[in-house]
Structure formats: structure tokens, C-alpha cells
């Protein structure tokens, strides 16, 4: 496995109603953030991988910091301050229209104690001359006038952020095949990891992972080393009770980032939830190989679960992970556990698979003959040549006359044809359509 970069963290903080979420959404909507369009997954997200001037980072939105004493407000404030402590750079939003407030001064005092680079952003500054000047009184340097709603000053802010990010930290690869185990609380993630480790009795080491709630467990099976990264359960934001749990999502993302294969653990005794779909979206966004494990399947007899019906519903609700094999297992009884490690090894091999260019073009030509490309406004899509340009995950570049003519349905058709020919079991397959000028 190649060495990976650990993404720095940029947190958006401030008192309530200064436009933090609008600012976050502005970056996402302008496609500064690299996100996937997955129904039911991107909603309610508080983080996004972002890129500016070739530098990648994680952007995190937070709740408003206040001095209110009610339990919910105190919890939100504690969570935001936790984000500030974990971040590498802080974006402190204030309201230019409201002017400097005592709460802004209190927030500034709290953030100053964190000891991280802070940029003060005077939001809602459209039409206001010198709107940022008064915020220099916070003692955090010159404020930048921006408008999250209208996009004013966004580029300048991101230039400063990128210049302040710490040097790239390269995370050494985990031994063997790195496997992140993710899912909601109480679906049996740790039980599955313990069952795999306990049944093998060939553990070479157990050491803390790079995050506080992830543990790397190394084992060997038939000469193959596996590193199982057990993570804390990812809860819904509305059900978080302790501040440290607020960023379980972020820590799970980092565990997924340094893995090759991700095990999405679901519970057979519960219906698929929005949170399950949200976690599945994290895996898709990270573009990792994936296996879906339906744990507690031993309860099927007690509850009359129908495997075919369960699988049909699951495939329908997680259609964006259609490439992921589905395994029905039980950590308690050992049902299906023998198939997990071989399946991990298989999809890890597919993750790094290379296909000859000649075969790719054979399949492309066959696909075009069987189903001609569509036309749009009198212009017909033409496909000239294809080659694999990347692995982990596999990426196939296709030269066409105009990428804008590629309809999503034809994109899906070509992907299915390549999968039928080459497999790519358990891994996302990325198709890149690139323009080539037609010969005169």
C-alpha cells in the first residue's frame, strides 16, 4: 500500500447566526469542496474534503459558541471548542452588519487560548465600506471582509488558509492490507474484529492508531498480513451526548483514508437507517474498496428474516454501493466469518488491478456497437480511445469529442460493460471523459 498524506483540518467557528454554515455551503456549492452527489448522504453533513491551489484539507462546520447555560448550548459550545483544539487553522466568523459584540470578544478569548492560526472573517460585508476595520480590536490581526452569500473575498481567504497549513504529514502505510471497520454504534464492529482476531490466534501486535478512537490490530492468515482498524460508532448529530463523540465522524474518515478496504457493518436486527446511508457515503467519497457485512444474522430465525428480501431492500437503498459484495455474518456464533478475510484479500487485489489497454478498447468498441452513444441537440457523442490511467481505485480515461455529451445513463452503461468484462469486484470504477479534437 502506498504512503498517504494526512489531511490538515480547517474549522469554521464563531457565535451563532454569523453565517458559518452559509460560508461552509458557499465553499461546497462552488465545488471548492470535493463531494459526491449521493441522495440522502450529503444532507446534514458538517465536514467535507476541500482543495484549493492544489492543497487538500478537511473543512469542518461547527455550532455557535455562546455563554448560555442551558445543557444544549453548553454542549454545542464544547463541541465547537473541541473542533478548534483539533484543527490546524481556525476561521473565526463575525457579523459585519451587527458589528463587534461582547460575545465576539469572549469567543476570541476562548480561541486565543487554543494557540492555532486564526483568521477573522467579517461576514455579510457586501455594500459596507471598511466593514472589517473595527474587528482589529479583537487582537487577532486584520479581519478580512467577506460575503458568504455573494462570494465576496472567498478566494483571498482560501489563499491565506493554504499558506498557513502545516507541512504535509505522510502517514506510513499499515502492514499488509489496511481494513477500516465502520458503522453505527452497537452493530457489532468490535465483536467482529475480536472474533476474527480470536479465531486466528496469530496476532502479531496491537497498537494505538493515529486517532484517539481507532485501534490497529495486526494478524496473519496464510502468510497475508491484515491490519484491522476498529473505529468508534458514528452517531447521528442529534443523538450525541458527549463532546468527544461529535468528531467520531471525522476520526472515522481518517481511518478510512488510510485504509484500502472498508468493512461497512450493518445490524440484521434493525432496518437500514439514514445514518447507515451517511456512513456508506463516507466510503464512496473516499473511493475505497468495500465489503458490506450484515452482522447478527443468527437472529434471522428468531425474527423470521428473509435473506433474499433483506438483500433486495438493502441493494435498493444503498444503490450507490452496488459494487460492494454483501456478506451475512454473526460475530456471536461465527456464522460466515471464514469468508471475510478471503473476501478482503480479493477486493484488495481488485483495488490495485491493471487491465491491458488493448482489452479496454475491445470492450469499448463492443459497447459502442451494441448501444450507440446518444445525441444532444444534433451533436453525437463519439468515443475514440480508452486506457487505464490509475489504480487504487481503478481509473479509465476515455477520449471523446465532447465530454458534455456524456449522459449519466451512458456513463453507467459503459461502467457496467467494463465491470462485466473485468470484474472490479468490490471497488469503485472511475471513468474520466476527456476531450480530443476531431481530425479535420
CATH number of the domain that residue 413 is part of: 3.30.300.20
The pLDDT score that the predictor gives to residue 230 is 81
Reading the block at residue 5, the C-alpha cell is 498524506
* One domain for residues 211 and 343: yes
Confidence of residue 407 (pLDDT cuts 50, 70, 90): very high
The range of the structural domain enclosing residue 383 comes to 357-435
* One domain for residues 198 and 147: no
The pLDDT score that the predictor gives to residue 56 is 84
For range 223-243, the mean pLDDT: 68
Residue range 82-98, pLDDT digits in tens: 888 889 999 999 999 99
Domain CATH number, residue 96: 3.40.50.300
Lowest model confidence (mean pLDDT) among 253-257, 307-311, 403-407: 253-257
Collapsing DSSP states into helix, strand and coil, what is residue 35? coil
Helix and strand counts by DSSP (H, E) for the chain:
12, 20
For range 287-302, the mean pLDDT: 89
Q: Nearest 5°: phi and psi at 40? A: 80, 0
The answer, yes or no, to whether residue 288 has pLDDT greater than 60, is yes
The pLDDT score that the predictor gives to residue 144 is 93
Lowest model confidence (mean pLDDT) among 129-133, 396-400, 417-421: 129-133
Lowest model confidence (mean pLDDT) among 127-131, 240-244, 322-326, 329-333: 240-244
The answer, yes or no, to whether residue 365 has pLDDT greater than 80, is yes
Cα end-to-end distance, the chain, whole Å: 45
Q: In the chain, how many domains are there?
A: 3
Burial 309-327 (b: 16+ CB within 10 A, else e): ebeeebeebbebbebbebb
* One domain for residues 388 and 335: no
CA distance 114 to 104: 16
The pLDDT score that the predictor gives to residue 248 is 59
The answer, yes or no, to whether residue 9 has pLDDT greater than 50, is yes
Give 81 or 359, the one with higher predicted confidence: 359
Query: Of 415, 370, 364, whose CA–CA distance to 394 is shortest?
Result: 415
* One domain for residues 294 and 251: yes
- 169: in domain: no
The answer, yes or no, to whether residue 43 has pLDDT greater than 50, is no
Task: Name the helix (H) or strand (E) containing 118.
Answer: strand 118-123
- 440: in domain: no
Report, in this order, helix, strand and coil percent for the chain, each rounded to 5.
40, 25, 35
For range 127-144, the mean pLDDT: 90
List residues bridging with 430 in a β-sheet. Answer: 395
Confidence of residue 194 (pLDDT cuts 50, 70, 90): confident
Query: Of 421, 3, 424, whose CA–CA distance to 173 is shortest?
Result: 3
Q: Nearest 5°: phi and psi at 429? A: -115, 120
Lowest model confidence (mean pLDDT) among 15-24, 97-106, 321-330: 15-24
Mean pLDDT across the chain, nearest whole number? 83
The pLDDT score that the predictor gives to residue 169 is 67
* One domain for residues 321 and 225: yes
The pLDDT score that the predictor gives to residue 290 is 97
Residues in the chain: 440
Lowest model confidence (mean pLDDT) among 52-66, 151-165, 201-215, 324-338: 201-215
CA distance 73 to 410: 49
Confidence of residue 256 (pLDDT cuts 50, 70, 90): confident
Reading the block at residue 343, the C-alpha cell is 473476501
- 382: in domain: yes
Burial class from Cβ neighbours inside 10 Å (0-12, 13-18, 19+) for residue 223 reads exposed
CA distance to 36, 262, 293, per residue, from 287 (Å): 10, 10, 18
Reading the block at residue 418, the C-alpha cell is 467494463
The pLDDT score that the predictor gives to residue 221 is 87
Amino acid at each position: 500500500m502506498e504512503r498517504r498524506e494526512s489531511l490538515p483540518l480547517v474549522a469554521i467557528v464563531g457565535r451563532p447566526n454569523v453565517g458559518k454554515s452559509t460560508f461552509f455551503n458557499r465553499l461546497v456549492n462552488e465545488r471548492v469542496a470535493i463531494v459526491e452527489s449521493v441522495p440522502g448522504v450529503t444532507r446534514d453533513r458538517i465536514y467535507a474534503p476541500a482543495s484549493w491551489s492544489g492543497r487538500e484539507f478537511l473543512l469542518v462546520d461547527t455550532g455557535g459558541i455562546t455563554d448560555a447555560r442551558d445543557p444544549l448550548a453548553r454542549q454545542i459550545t464544547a463541541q465547537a471548542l473541541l473542533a478548534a483544539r483539533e484543527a490546524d487553522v481556525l476561521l473565526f466568523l463575525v457579523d459585519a452588519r451587527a458589528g463587534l459584540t461582547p460575545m465576539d470578544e469572549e469567543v476570541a478569548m476562548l480561541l486565543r487560548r487554543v494557540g492555532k492560526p486564526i483568521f477573522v472573517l467579517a461576514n455579510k460585508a457586501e455594500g459596507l465600506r471598511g466593514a472589517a476595520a473595527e474587528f482589529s480590536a479583537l487582537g487577532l490581526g486584520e479581519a478580512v471582509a467577506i460575503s458568504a452569500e455573494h462570494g465576496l473575498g472567498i478566494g483571498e481567504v482560501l489563499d491565506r488558509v493554504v499558506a498557513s497549513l502545516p507541512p504535509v504529514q505522510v502517514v506510513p502505510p499499515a502492514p499488509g492490507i489496511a481494513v477500516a471497520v465502520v458503522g453505527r454504534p452497537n452493530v457489532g464492529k468490535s465483536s467482529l474484529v475480536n472474533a476474527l482476531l480470536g479465531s486466528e490466534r496469530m496476532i502479531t501486535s496491537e497498537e494505538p492508531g493515529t486517532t484517539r478512537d481507532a485501534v490497529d490490530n495486526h494478524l496473519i492468515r496464510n502468510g497475508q498480513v491484515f491490519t484491522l482498524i476498529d473505529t468508534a460508532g458514528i452517531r447521528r448529530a442529534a443523538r450525541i451526548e458527549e463532546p468527544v463523540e461529535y468528531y467520531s465522524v471525522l476520526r472515522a474518515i481518517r481511518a478510512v483514508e488510510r485504509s484500502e478496504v472498508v468493512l461497512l457493518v450493518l445490524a440484521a436486527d434493525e432496518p437500514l437507517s439514514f445514518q447507515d446511508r451517511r456512513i456508506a457515503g463516507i466510503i464512496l467519497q473516499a473511493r475505497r474498496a468495500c465489503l458490506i457485512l450484515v452482522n447478527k444474522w443468527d437472529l434471522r430465525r428468531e425474527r423470521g428474516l428473509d435473506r433474499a428480501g433483506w438483500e433486495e431492500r438493502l441493494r435498493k437503498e444503498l444503490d450507490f454501493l452496488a459494487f460492494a459484495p454483501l456478506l451475512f455474518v454473526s460475530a456471536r456464533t461465527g456464522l460466515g466469518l471464514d469468508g471475510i478475510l478471503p473476501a478482503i484479500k480479493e477486493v484488495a487485489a481488485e483495488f490495485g488491478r491493471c487491465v491491458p489497454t488493448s482489452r479496454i478498447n475491445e470492450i469499448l468498441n463492443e459497447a459502442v456497437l451494441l448501444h450507440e452513444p446518444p445525441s444532444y441537440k444534433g451533436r453525437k457523442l463519439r468515443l475514440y480511445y480508452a486506457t487505464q490511467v490509475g489504480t487504487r481505485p481503478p481509473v479509465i480515461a476515455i477520449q471523446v469529442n465532447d465530454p458534455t455529451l456524456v449522459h449519466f445513463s451512458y456513463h453507467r452503461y459503459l461502467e457496467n460493460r467494463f465491470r462485466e468484462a473485468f470484474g472490479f469486484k468490490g471497488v469503485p470504477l472511475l471513468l474520466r471523459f476527456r476531450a480530443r479534437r476531431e481530425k479535420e
